[in-house]
Structure 1
Amino acid sequence: RFLQGIASDHGRRIPVRLVKGAYWDTEIKHAQEEGLASYPVFTRKVHTDVSYLACARQALTAAEGLYPQFATHNAHTLASILRYAGSRRDYEFQRLHGMGEALYAEVIDPERYARPCRVYAPVGSHEDLLPYLVRRLLENGANTSFVNRIVDEAIDVGEIVADPIGIAREHNCQPHPHIHPPGDLFGDERRNSKGINLPDSNVRRELLASMQTASTRTYVACPIVGGDKLDGDEVPSVNPANTQHVVGICQQASVDQVDVALEIAAEGQPAWDRTPAAERAAILNKAADLFEKHTAELLALCVAEAGKTIPDAIAELREAVDFLRYYAAQACKLYGEPKELPGPTGERNTHGLRGRGVFVCISPWNFPLAIFTGQVAAALAAGNAVLAKPAEQTPLVAYRAVELLLEAGVPPTVLHFLPGDGATVGGHAVADARVAGVAFTGSTDTARLINRALADKEGPIAVMIAETGGQNAMFVDSSALPEQVVLDSVYSSFNSAGQRCSALRLLCLQEEIAPRVIELLIGQMEELGIGRPELFSTDVGPTIDEEACAVLTAHVEKMQKEATILHRSKLPKETSAGTFFAPTLVEIDSVDVLQQEVFGPVLHVLRYGSKDLRKAINAVNGTGYGLTMGLHSRIDSRARKIAELSGAGNIYINRNMIGAVVGVQPFGGRGLSGTGPKAGGRYYLPRFGAEYTVSNNISAVGGNATLLSLGSD
């Protein structure tokens, strides 16, 4: 109807090609991944068939405004259109070359229907056409496909050509029972986090308006100890996209305040640990709901203080919500009633988990909401008290998260917020004898310092849970699809300005495919939108601060001497107000050139011969890092072999290598990349707890009544 109005207003006739079913499964998956309110497509094929017929009738009633083109291989659909159109001939059918020939022989026969049919065919090399042809084969081979069912002699013809409207009425037009709404993706265990449908212009408009309202507020963060908001030395928190914009003020915690927090936490933790796991979980679930309620405010803070683009900020908020709900569900499973173990008669043995004590959670600036929340939520879910120390660059986001956690019902005795200098606040807390464990995300060097401090301190031996950096590589062989490789490489390298632990740092290309991929990479980099993160047109925002920019600048200057700079994106004039760094493509001849992680939008390319694949993998493993690895290959056996040889904690095949989803792709590395276990995984929460076993000799009361009362049968 919209197109009909446009055509009428401008006196034009608009060709409209009507198709159905193409990339249906992709739409379903996308809606689930994005946490949308509903699906943009029908979940039953029969409903799609009915919708197609309705659209066909509408198109045919558009008089001179539209020229309908009906692409279908379904005989019932075709017959319906012929019936709707009557004697009209101002439309056409379309079919794929090699398909529906017998059906359309009837349609174009001058003695039968004499209606035009356009035959379309893909044109190109086999490398380009293979994915398309495989896609068509999969769609036509589906159980519900007319093309597949018509050749199945076991299916009655009447069933194949049944009226879709009647079938829809039979099940009361209800959606498919096995395709649950995106929000119910994880079943009864937990709700999926809510996404935002950014392609909808009305949604974007409302979101921006709400974020703008939240941005007018000047935030003040301060230490929160025992529920009291305390004073401290003031430090401004600035917007990395415009360093003249002060987002808010953070009052720094003092050493004395850290000591008070430790005392209160140590005293309050036992009561929290005795609180049933289900009650702790309910509080975390309530916090998740509060996070979603304050979506616009949290997004505005992530954009302003951390330089996140809006899509990145949405993904971060969703990850934080998923952490809360996932750890709540896991706590009920793992920290509920002790599990009874098998054993000899007359004895009852149980095994359970309880909190360790006081945890210090030290989070990074690159995920100031998600990782901060994940660490804190896990420690709390396990029954621990928490001293939360946010990154110095992003305390405002973390402060708001703590306020919402306390509002949800977390006792103020077990959650304390201590912003400030890492060496002063974090160092003092970690060295205290009352600390039972540390959860840390950051650099490998800092993790080593914390580990040494824990080893040297008095008191019980403490647990160290660390997720650090990575020298993340992607291997691409000659069978890979270059266009997909480029899309995934650019997204993995330059999304979040390359400031992700999982970001792609090294792209290893088989020699045969390297020239084409590099050419496409440069072209894709030229299309990147670099600028203000609050604009939807922005792909790459700022780096976090001037220090980060300086480190990246020094690295690129070094690469100019030791390697080849293939391309540097141009920075728009407006970026001079912030700490932006131009996405850069560098070709190196050895992995040894990369002595340490380069945390920013710099992608290194290394060519390898087909016989040297194992050597290249060993070189990457030899760096000592083991966080993420990607690979692109259309040869399954090779993909499996590369995955087996990799030393990475997370391996991604024929896709991008960032954006691990809680409970779906547990995230964490090994070696120089961390201690494990993986955040958002089933082995993470037990690391925050202490196991205990109770063995009860129930025969001690005089005998085993159960055994003695057994009958002879």
Structure 2
Amino acid sequence: MTRDRFFVGGAWVDPASSEVIEVINPATEEVLGTVPAGTSSDVDAAVAAARDAFDGWATTPMAERGAVLDRLHTALAARADDIARTVGLELGTPLKIAQAVQAGLPLAVLRGYADLAAGPVTEPAIGNSLVVREPVGVVGAITPWNYPLHQVVAKVAAALAAGCTVVLKPSELTPLVAYLLADAAVEAGVPDGVLNLVTGTGPVVGAAIAGHPGVDMVSFTGSTATGRAIAHAAADRIAKVALELGGKSANVILEGADVAKAVKTGVGNAFLNSGQTCTAWTRMLVHRSAYDDAVALAGQVAGAFTVGDPFDPATRLGPLVSAAQRDRVLGFIERADAKLVSPSVPVPDKGYFVAPAVFADVDPDSELAQEEIFGPVLSIIPFDDDDHAVRIANNSRYGLAGGVWGEPDRAMAVARRMRTGAVDVNGGRFNPLAPFGGYKQSGVGRELGSFGLEEFQQVKAIQR
């Protein structure tokens, strides 16, 4: 699965350096393939191509941009099986989940932006002013490894719909699936230079994009620490930044809620993608009246997760992305000062696997309840009443997502008080057209739907 070139200016071009990055299969610890290790010179070439293409793409009518995105969706949908398989290999997502989420979700997002761009463009009048929206310019998109195509499409599709051109740097841990998007762009006839792909490390390629004078906006998804560094680099040249960062989401189970449904759904949410999900409900807050039952059930549910080969239909929990991530998660588990209530689950001897861990009686101020672990680890915390639940839920430097279970009006009231960018009430489904983003250190800006489109636009007032 080796790829040896970059996609720049509508062509496959040789990298400036002969150095490569090995892509490791986390389930086998074997080298899956290699990609080029980009340099600042490669970024310069990609930014120049994006800049050259910008004026033509920006002035293309939005409906025509929508037609290009529609063709891109068709070309990418034809690669759905390859997408799921590639993500299964380079990330370790179980195949069934990879098909539904790692392939299905980005296709849904792309479909949404194609439709949005094809719709009517409104330019409201305010007194003697006409308010228009224009593309922000050249966008540097830096994406993470946990949802490697979805996070790419969430940025690229919105930016292209808005009339921006893009320089994309996918994670060096899971870069291969981004090449499938570039292949689809060629087939769909995306104009030269509108989408450019450069692989490499964050400290080299990511830093070059974030600090590049030719990049008008940086859109980043990843850790809060890296997001802070990118924001500093962009601030030095007053460039726009959108950041989707960490999370430590609370799943609140109120008195009188359907405890069985709330716990089963909550454990599944916390362990989705082996817990490598920024929105994961990693804190389960339960009213004391149902606490003991919830703890027992959560342990049973976790114990039923089969850990192993992502391509085995019985597998529900694949490996973590890397040895470093596995060791980091195991460190949290070993240091935990709480009661482990999940049974021992066998894991393969080879691969970066971690057995699911559920802890009860967790101190809300402890490391376990405060740090984003990014692995299959769940903390259960009791509360006394709704006010207490809200205080615990908001006791976090993050504010990305959450859940509430209970009588609908009461659950809605609690959801409104949670300082977080999204809340699911009684199992409400994820909506790829709704705004996605966080409060506090979970980020700045929003992705998805019309709100995501607006992130890549400037607002102009024309007086007449």
Query: In the alignment, which residue of structure 2 is the partner of 1:421?
Result: 201
For 1:519, the aligned partner's letter is A
For 1:340 and 1:629, how far apart are their aligned partners in 2?
Answer: 35
Query: In the alignment, which residue of structure 1 is the partner of 2:143?
Result: 363
Q: Give the unaligned 5+ runs of structure 2.
A: none
Q: Secondary structure at the match of 1:247?
A: strand
Residue 351 of structure 2: which of 569, 578, 582 is its match? 578
Report 1 or 2 for greater relative contact order, CA contacts < 8 Å, sequence distance ≥ 6.
Answer: 2
For 2:463 and 2:114, how far apart are their aligned partners in 1?
Answer: 28
Distance change in 2, residues 1:570/1:586 (3 Å):
same
Q: Secondary structure at the match of 1:586?
A: strand
For 1:500 and 1:312, how far apart are their aligned partners in 2?
Answer: 13
Residue 599 of structure 1: which of 374, 378, 382 is its match? 374
- Shift of residue 381 of structure 1? 1.2
**Matched-pair contact (CA < 8 Å) for 2:222–2:244:** yes
Residue 26 of structure 2: which of 216, 222, 240 is its match? 240
- Shift of residue 328 of structure 1? 2.3
Residue 540 of structure 1: which of 312, 317, 325 is its match? 317
For 1:268, the aligned partner's letter is A
For 2:59 and 2:40, how far apart are their aligned partners in 1?
Answer: 29
- Shift of residue 342 of structure 1? 5.7
**Matched-pair contact (CA < 8 Å) for 1:225–1:257:** no
For 2:70 and 2:344, how far apart are their aligned partners in 1?
Answer: 43
Q: Deviations over 1:231-275 (max 9, x none)?
A: 34122212111112x322111212111111112222221111011
For 1:399, the aligned partner's letter is Y
For 2:140 and 2:292, how far apart are their aligned partners in 1?
Answer: 49
Q: Deviations over 1:112-137 (max 9, x none)?
A: xxxxxxxxxxxxxxxxxxxxxxxxxx
Query: In the alignment, which residue of structure 2 is the partner of 1:681?
Result: 449
- Shift of residue 568 of structure 1? 4.6
Q: Secondary structure at the match of 1:598?
A: coil
- TM-score by structure 2 length? 0.94
Q: Deviations over 1:19-70 (max 9, x none)?
A: xxxxxxxxxxxxxxxxxxxxxxxxxxxxxxxxxxxxxxxxxxxxxxxxxxxx
For 1:298 and 1:474, how far apart are their aligned partners in 2?
Answer: 31
- Shift of residue 496 of structure 1? 0.9
Q: Aligned pair 1:493/2:279, yes or no? A: no
**Matched-pair contact (CA < 8 Å) for 2:253–2:259:** no
Residue 303 of structure 1: which of 67, 88, 93 is its match? 88
Q: Aligned pair 1:292/2:72, yes or no? A: no
**Matched-pair contact (CA < 8 Å) for 2:300–2:343:** no
Query: In the alignment, which residue of structure 2 is the partner of 1:150?
Result: none
- Shift of residue 525 of structure 1? 1.7
Q: Aligned pair 1:692/2:464, yes or no? A: no
Distance change in 2, residues 1:591/1:280 (3 Å):
same
- Shift of residue 554 of structure 1? 1.0
For 1:271 and 1:450, how far apart are their aligned partners in 2?
Answer: 29
For 1:645 and 1:412, how far apart are their aligned partners in 2?
Answer: 47
- Shift of residue 353 of structure 1? 1.4
Q: Aligned pair 1:391/2:159, yes or no? A: no
Query: In the alignment, which residue of structure 1 is the partner of 2:307?
Result: 530
Query: In the alignment, which residue of structure 1 is the partner of 2:125?
Result: 341
Identity %: 29
For 2:301 and 2:451, how far apart are their aligned partners in 1?
Answer: 39
- Shift of residue 567 of structure 1? 2.1
Query: In the alignment, which residue of structure 1 is the partner of 2:106?
Result: 320
**Matched-pair contact (CA < 8 Å) for 1:552–1:599:** yes
For 2:94, the aligned partner's letter is T
Residue 437 of structure 1: which of 217, 230, 236 is its match? 217
For 2:46 and 2:39, how far apart are their aligned partners in 1?
Answer: 11
- Shift of residue 333 of structure 1? 4.2
Equivalent residue runs for 1:96-245 within 5 Å? 218-226=1-9, 227-231=11-15, 232-244=18-30
- Shift of residue 298 of structure 1? 1.3
Aligned residues: 458
Q: Deviations over 1:521-559 (max 9, x none)?
A: 222222111111112211111110011111111111110
- Shift of residue 641 of structure 1? 1.9
For 1:579, the aligned partner's letter is Y
For 1:243, the aligned partner's letter is E
Q: Aligned pair 1:641/2:413, yes or no? A: yes
- TM-score by structure 1 length? 0.62
Query: In the alignment, which residue of structure 1 is the partner of 2:115?
Result: 329
Query: In the alignment, which residue of structure 2 is the partner of 1:62?
Result: none
Q: Aligned pair 1:481/2:258, yes or no? A: yes
For 1:406 and 1:447, how far apart are their aligned partners in 2?
Answer: 31
For 2:339 and 2:346, how far apart are their aligned partners in 1?
Answer: 20
Equivalent residue runs for 1:544-555 within 5 Å? 544-555=321-332
For 1:451 and 1:569, how far apart are their aligned partners in 2?
Answer: 42
Query: In the alignment, which residue of structure 2 is the partner of 1:654?
Result: 426
Q: Secondary structure at the match of 1:512?
A: helix
**Matched-pair contact (CA < 8 Å) for 1:473–1:504:** yes
Equivalent residue runs for 1:612-631 within 5 Å? 613-631=386-404
Distance change in 2, residues 1:692/1:332 (3 Å):
farther
Q: Secondary structure at the match of 1:504?
A: coil
For 1:333 and 1:686, how far apart are their aligned partners in 2?
Answer: 15
For 2:152, the aligned partner's letter is F
For 2:405 and 2:123, how far apart are their aligned partners in 1?
Answer: 44
**Matched-pair contact (CA < 8 Å) for 1:284–1:405:** no
Equivalent residue runs for 1:555-574 within 5 Å? 555-559=332-336, 562-572=337-347
**Matched-pair contact (CA < 8 Å) for 1:222–1:252:** no
For 1:455 and 1:568, how far apart are their aligned partners in 2?
Answer: 48
For 1:264 and 1:647, how far apart are their aligned partners in 2?
Answer: 41
- Shift of residue 636 of structure 1? 2.7
Query: In the alignment, which residue of structure 2 is the partner of 1:279?
Result: 64
Distance change in 2, residues 1:583/1:221 (3 Å):
farther
The alignment's C-alpha RMSD in Å is 1.8
Query: In the alignment, which residue of structure 2 is the partner of 1:127?
Result: none
For 1:248 and 1:599, how far apart are their aligned partners in 2?
Answer: 25
Q: Deviations over 1:125-178 (max 9, x none)?
A: xxxxxxxxxxxxxxxxxxxxxxxxxxxxxxxxxxxxxxxxxxxxxxxxxxxxxx
For 1:576 and 1:271, how far apart are their aligned partners in 2?
Answer: 54
**Which runs of at least 4 in structure 1 moved beyond 4 Å after TM superposition?**
none
Q: Secondary structure at the match of 1:228?
A: strand
Distance change in 2, residues 1:396/1:248 (3 Å):
same
For 2:234 and 2:346, how far apart are their aligned partners in 1?
Answer: 44
**Matched-pair contact (CA < 8 Å) for 1:568–1:582:** no
**Matched-pair contact (CA < 8 Å) for 1:303–1:313:** yes
**Matched-pair contact (CA < 8 Å) for 2:113–2:449:** no
For 1:675 and 1:436, how far apart are their aligned partners in 2?
Answer: 16
For 1:238 and 1:503, how far apart are their aligned partners in 2?
Answer: 25
**Matched-pair contact (CA < 8 Å) for 2:38–2:204:** no
For 1:543, the aligned partner's letter is L
**Matched-pair contact (CA < 8 Å) for 2:5–2:12:** no
Which shows bigger deviation, 484-493 or 588-597? 588-597
For 2:408 and 2:124, how far apart are their aligned partners in 1?
Answer: 43
Q: Give the unaligned 5+ runs of structure 1.
A: 1-217, 697-713
**Matched-pair contact (CA < 8 Å) for 1:236–1:248:** yes
**Matched-pair contact (CA < 8 Å) for 2:79–2:180:** no
**Matched-pair contact (CA < 8 Å) for 2:296–2:341:** no
For 1:439, the aligned partner's letter is S
